[in-house]
Structure 1
Amino acid sequence: MVEVANEAPGWDAIEAAVATRMGDQEPLHWGTSNLPGQGLYGLSAYRAAGHWLLVTFGMTELFSKDSDDPDISGWGYELTMRVPLDADQPPAWSLRLLDKLVEYVFNSGRPFAEGHRMDVGGPITGQANTRLRAVAFAADPELPPIDSPFGSAQFLAVVGITIDELERMKATTTAAVLSELAAHSPMLVTDPTR
């Protein structure tokens, strides 16, 4: 089998950054029916110590440069999320949530950034047995920013939070409350049972 070099340099940059922390493990991967630049293109799940690391593909430019800004790739970030590793695959709700967040950005034209937070209008799992009903966004705690021929980007971590935590973020800062959560979970794992 012959590999074609640099046919997806944006994709390669994402995988290289993840490999700095996850090694060369083969992730689980899901594709979508979206064309490049039209929403979530793919999602990978890596096994880490006690959790899954989920990484989106499609918020940045994967195959070609399409945006006008030569310094930033696409929206300037890919989303990550960490959820408990308690099955052979990550929970379906986590994949759906990331898909919906990407869809929101593409439909609204309003990108997320570090420090943003959002009430998602119900339980993030879709089930009433969790108190997590909102999300916050932080720089990923371990993945470095990427550079590709299409520009730079960062990894933006999605963290499930309670409505009480959302209100405290509004009263103080998102970073202050996430710092409290990181004291108990340095990788900011979203555990729907907490």
Structure 2
Amino acid sequence: MMWDAITEAMAGLYPRAQPWHVTYPAEGFDLRAASAYPADGHWHFVTYGLGERWGFELTFRVVRGAGEQPPQWPFLMLNRVAGYANAAAEPFEEGQWLDLGGPVTGFPGTDGPATGLTVVILAADPQLGDRFLQLVGVTAAEANGEVEIDDDHPLLVTDPGRA
């Protein structure tokens, strides 16, 4: 997927939004760039760089706080998951999940809060479709089916404060 197609898809959702862009150094990072768009009650993050190899990009929605800037920890988490994708023999698919071995927020090594969400499930982004795999933060018990996932939010927004 080309960068212009990603930007066009996001602009279709947020035509008046001013996104926050992050570029990653070529060495030591698996993504080329990512953006965060201010949405109603949440930030909508999208990656750039996986589509050229795998045909999909990652998205992530996180509850929006009072700040005017997006949190930085999702940019780091997206790069980490991109590393898993690049190391995989097969492309990621909807329904897969990844145990990150610690909080999805990277706590305590990032600006993210402490949370019990340690796993991300991949789902088709509800607004962008299956060429965009959205990461949804859940607990290990939810990922293992021991506890039912509360999926009453239609956009699958991750709230680190819920666990």
Class of the TM-score when normalised by the shorter of the 2 chains? 0.7 to 0.9
SS at match of 1:40: coil
Contact preservation (8 Å) 2:118, 2:140: yes
One-letter amino acid of the counterpart of residue 85, structure 1:
R
One-letter amino acid of the counterpart of residue 57, structure 1:
Y
- Residue 161 of structure 2 is aligned to residue 181 of structure 1: no
C-alpha RMSD of the superposition: 2.2
One-letter amino acid of the counterpart of residue 137, structure 1:
L
| Aligned residue-pair number | 155
Q: Percent of aligned positions with the same letter in both sequences?
A: 41
Paired residue for 2:18?
26
Shift of 1:131: 1.1
SS at match of 1:55: strand
Q: Name the TM-score, length of structure 2 as normaliser.
A: 0.85
One-letter amino acid of the counterpart of residue 101, structure 1:
V
Paired residue for 1:165?
142
Rounded Cα–Cα distance in structure 2 between residues aligned with 1:126 and 1:21? 28
Paired residue for 2:116?
131
SS at match of 1:193: helix
Q: Radius of gyration: which is bigger?
A: 1
Rounded Cα–Cα distance in structure 2 between residues aligned with 1:126 and 1:93? 7
Shift of 1:76: 1.6
Rounded Cα–Cα distance in structure 2 between residues aligned with 1:110 and 1:93? 26
- Residue 101 of structure 2 is aligned to residue 121 of structure 1: yes
SS at match of 1:181: coil
SS at match of 1:98: helix
Contact preservation (8 Å) 2:62, 2:159: yes
SS at match of 2:98: strand
Shift of 1:21: 1.2
SS at match of 1:168: coil
Q: Runs of 5+ in structure 2 lacking a partner?
A: 109-113
One-letter amino acid of the counterpart of residue 102, structure 2:
G
